Amino acid sequence: MDIVLSHENEMILETVRAFMEKEIYPHEEEVDRLGYVPKELGQQIEQQSIEAGLYSANLPESVGGGGLDYTNMAVVEREYGKTSHALHSWIGRPTELLMACQGDQIERYLTPCVQAKKRELFALTEPEAGSDVMAMKTNAKRDGDDWILNGSKHFISGPTMPDFAIVFAATGIDETPRGPRKRVSAFLVDVGTKGFDISEGNRCVSYRGYNNYQLFFSNVRLGPDQMLGEEGKGLELSGKWLGMGRIWVGATCAGKAERLYDLAVDWAANRKQFGKPIGQFQATGFKLADMAIGIKTADLLVMDAVAKADAGTLQDADAAMVKVYCSEMLNRVADDTVQIYGGMGLMEEMPIQRLWRDSRLERIWDGTSEIQRHIITRSILRPLGA
Ligand SMILES: Cc1cc2nc3c(=O)[nH]c(=O)nc-3n(C[C@H](O)[C@H](O)[C@H](O)COP(=O)(O)OP(=O)(O)OC[C@H]3O[C@@H](n4cnc5c(N)ncnc54)[C@H](O)[C@@H]3O)c2cc1C
């Protein structure tokens, strides 16, 4: 990482790097080949991360978390990005949405997640409502004090079968100056509740071994204490999470790009054709130069965004810019690294093809590049009334 870091940032970086070298990197190839993380391995990573103080490092000390600020978390996420989600997600970073837990919810959901006793899923996407979140069909209707939940979700991802899901559902319609708009609320729904079915979804070629689930709700009865946050404030909650999520995507992309860059530099310096290292051909050398510029720009964008998040001034467009730039930069770096390796870049024995496959997802999840560009455009034009 070629930017100025504080002493505290450096110490955290050393801890994470040592952890990754020992607990994560040795298992990458096997997990990609198997297509799943053996349960004992997942639990071992989980246990080691608790001992290293990395589990729940993102949550405040007041709830038992590590209390890292956003700047330090960016340093951590950048290192996580060098490997597969299938592995680093076992380290555990419970969603900050759980900070909205109130009363008994704290003991039932927040504290067990902080302590690695429970796992949650974030369930927003539906088969017919991907980018168009407001097309969601999942709904909850009042029945006395209770709610009755119906609908389905897909592409809901996590390292292992969860204990509960944070489910977003329409709980009514609001009239707004722009016309009728679904009122969306968030619910805490326990796996095992009558009418709630969860099963593994399609297999993804990015991050093999990182599971995604399909969720089905058929007349699931939920008590009033299962609503997370206020009724109708679900989108504000999800927006807050997605905003920071986009910055973590940016940080992980910078980390993965650096890993690919190191591999590309090594090959360009050592692979010889026409009697000299291929890096000496301008077509290869300029690729390396563009990679270095891209990674540095990505780091600066991420660090600017987390400084704003720490200062409480982060805007949606800041997070969107980080997501678009870093994920697209990573995809250029991944593709150029394959090109620099030639045929060897596509061989299963080399890590390049895996990192290339993993990179592709980053332009899609947490909101596609196109949707991020809409967010940025809106921030430019809306103040002008356009
Ligand atoms: C592996 C994986 C894990 C995931 N994990 C989760 C999770 O844990 N929780 C969760 O809720 N979701 C999750 N998602 C869902 C993810 O956020 C969505 O896939 C993503 O938001 C895109 O939705 P979609 O796939 O339905 O694509 P679509 O919305 O169908 O989009 C298809 C294409 O059309 C383009 N498009 C759509 N609308 C517009 C527009 N207005 N302007 C221009 N272009 C447009 C898109 O940019 C894209 O290129 C996950 C997805 C994957 C693949």
**Residue 85 contacts residue 207 (beta carbons within 8 Å):** yes
Ligand 1 near 371 CB (within 6 A): yes
Please write the tens of the pLDDT for every residue from 235-281: 998 887 788 999 999 999 999 999 999 999 999 999 999 999 999 99
Q: Which pTM was predicted?
A: 0.96
Question: Helix 316-341 and helix 352-361: axis angle, to 10°?
Answer: 150
List, for residues 268-322, the tens digit of each pLDDT value.
999 999 999 999 999 999 999 999 999 999 999 999 999 999 999 999 999 999 9
The Å distance, Cα 366 to ligand 1 centre, comes to: 7
For the chain, domains (ranges, CATH) are 7-93 (1.10.540.10), 119-232 (2.40.110.10), 237-384 (1.20.140.10)
Mutate to test the pocket of ligand 1, among 121, 125, 205, 360 (most ligand atoms within 8 A of CB): 125
Residue 2 pLDDT > 80, yes or no?
A: no
What tens digit of pLDDT does each residue of 110-121 get? Answer: 999 999 999 999
Q: Extract the tokens encoding 26.
A: 């040795």
Residue 364 has pLDDT above 90, yes or no: yes
Q: How far is the CA of 125 from the centre of ligand 1 (A)?
A: 8
218 alpha carbon to ligand 1 midpoint, in Å? 24
341, pLDDT greater than 90: yes
Indicate whether residue 124 lines ligand 1 (CB < 6 A): yes
Q: How confident is the model over 194-209, as a mean pLDDT?
A: 97
User: Which residue's CA is the closest to the ligand 1 atom numbered 43?
Assistant: 370
Ligand 1 close to Cβ of residue 106 (< 6 A): no
Per cent of the chain over pLDDT 70 is 100
